[in-house]
Amino acid sequence: NISALQLRLISAAQCRACAGECERLGKAAEISIERATALISMAHSWDQLAEDMARYEAIVKAEAQK
């Protein structure tokens, strides 16, 4: 059982960086359409995770100020 303090989370900024890298790789001319589709899908998933992490980070910050 992992407590919240033991869990190391990736930041929203790191998620956005991963999204950007997946998108860049997905637009490379020399890859198959299947690989490009998978990479673009991963980019969208990373973008969604970045939004979720930004929301989580805001909650943690607000709770720390109480």
User: Which of 17, 11, 14 shows the shortest CA–CA distance to 57?
Assistant: 11
Residues 2-58: pLDDT tens digits?
565 556 789 999 999 999 999 999 999 999 999 999 999 999 999 999 999 999 999
Q: Which residues contact 38 (CB under 8 A, 6 or more apart)?
A: 26
Give the pLDDT confidence score for residue 4 in this predicted structure. Answer: 58
- The C-alpha atoms of residue 42 and residue 5 are separated, in whole angstroms, by 28
Distance CA 4, CA 10 (A): 13
Amino acid, res. 32: S
